[in-house]
Structure 1
């Protein structure tokens, strides 16, 4: 039997395009409310929204309409990344553990920690 090497099909990079503020906000909210996840990292939001990470960070930190709807979880990922979600999504889908941590956390993660 001869081992034939198959050519590996590389994944095409996701095309990221700068868009206007309203479209970016809508895409970010959609990514945050994705039912597969309770909370998202900035990179996860950027990938799903098909926006550059810098644009996502800019919208998350500067958008005065989006910021009141957002929630930063009191804990980070194992890699130290900030976890974000919407307040409604957190209330409906977060585990008891996350809600408990949110209530009793003394060292909070804030919007200023988003990079």
Structure 2
């Protein structure tokens, strides 16, 4: 029985995958590499995604700070994680890759900064402001 048709995103090929359930086993068709099999099965059993977003800051020079997950989270938790991200307001100088939210929603994944407020503020106020 055909379960789902998806486009594989693990490599540039963009294979059109068909996931089939046969004798209680998942089979993947249409893949050009082994990674497509794993991707297809994971998309059925436990789809995971990364998130990139921004958080508010108190600094007019950079009112929004870009952030991302440092790992993959269950697709079903994306909206809840985004809700947590939207609650954050940065009030201190943070550097690139600094943890903004640790272990967001007990996923084992952190939300980290992808830009440096320290560098932006140094450029804006080279003599300390």
**Both proteins in one fold, TM over 0.5:** no
- State the TM-score, normalized to the length of structure 1: 0.26
Higher relative contact order (CA 8 A, sep 6+): 1
Query: Comparing both structures, which one devotes a greater share of its residues to strand?
Result: 2
- State the TM-score, normalized to the length of structure 2: 0.24
Q: Which of the pair has more CA radius of gyration?
A: 2
Query: Comparing both structures, which one devotes a greater share of its residues to helix?
Result: 1
